[in-house]
A = this chain, B = another copy of it.
Amino acid sequence: MIPITDPRIEEYLRGLAPEDDTHLIAMEQRAKELAFPIVDRLVGRLLYLLTRLRQPQLVVELGSGFGYSAWWFARAVSITGTVVMTDRDGANLDYARTMFRQNGLIDRLEFREGDALEIGREYRDIDILFIDLDKEQYRLAAETMIPRLAKNALLIADNALWYGRVAEGGDDPETRGIREFNDFMCLRRDFFTTIIPLRDGVMLAYRLS
């Protein structure tokens, strides 16, 4: 395992941009207590900034958990924008539904229980696709969803460095899954793809046409 960002840098960055939103803090607390994987605050802030730049009408998340990344997306889309959450676990979606009802953003959300890829397939003209499901499924997710993306869409994938294991020659199914996905995206000429070494690696792939 390779540490991707030095903890002192992370601490400095967190100190620069304190957040006092009670739902955000509650979600981070919940993730810690349940050892539930979430993108962290620095990644969340990057998602927010990218979403503001892209100004999407439709954001689809493949693998939403209880709504941490959706919280960032939902704040960044305009009042006419929609963020589709997908999760197998109805309890996660219930948690998110309650939170978004309380913070007044619920009209921007869709809550979809079931298999993320099966649900994802129903959508067209997706402006931002966020991939955060089983690592073995990443490449299949890209293949399935790319025809469903809008012009100049942004595909964002979490865990693109997978604890650094992709760079260490790891050969377990998850590391292999991520590595194949990275190769698949980086070789495509119809996307401009780069990976930001932030937390566990964030792939950004911009559709060039």
Contacts and interface: CB of A to CB of B under 8 A. Distances in A.
Interface of A: 2-6, 8-13, 16-17, 42, 45-46, 48-50, 52-54, 152, 154, 161, 164, 166-168, 182-183, 186, 192-198, 204, 206, 208
Nearest to A11: B167
A46 B50 CA distance: 12
A154 B53 contact: yes
Given A49-B204, A186-B16, A206-B52, A168 B198 contact: no
B198 A196 contact: yes
A74 to B, nearest CB: 15
A167 B12 contact: yes
Number of copies of this chain that the complex holds: 2
A175 B164 CA distance: 30
A35 B204 CA distance: 30
14 contacts: A2-B8, A3-B6, A4-B5, A4-B6, A5-B5, A9-B161, A10-B197, A12-B161, A16-B195, A17-B193, A45-B192, A46-B204, A48-B192, A49-B192
A167 B49 CA distance: 23
A13 B195 contact: yes
A9 B49 contact: no
Given A166-B12, A186-B17, A197-B13, A192 B52 contact: yes
A56 to B, nearest CB: 11
Among A10, A45, A208, the one with the most B-chain Cβ atoms within 10 Å of its Cβ is: A45
Given A53-B206, A192-B52, A198-B196, A9 B13 contact: no
A49 B194 contact: yes
A194 B4 contact: no
B16 A182 contact: yes
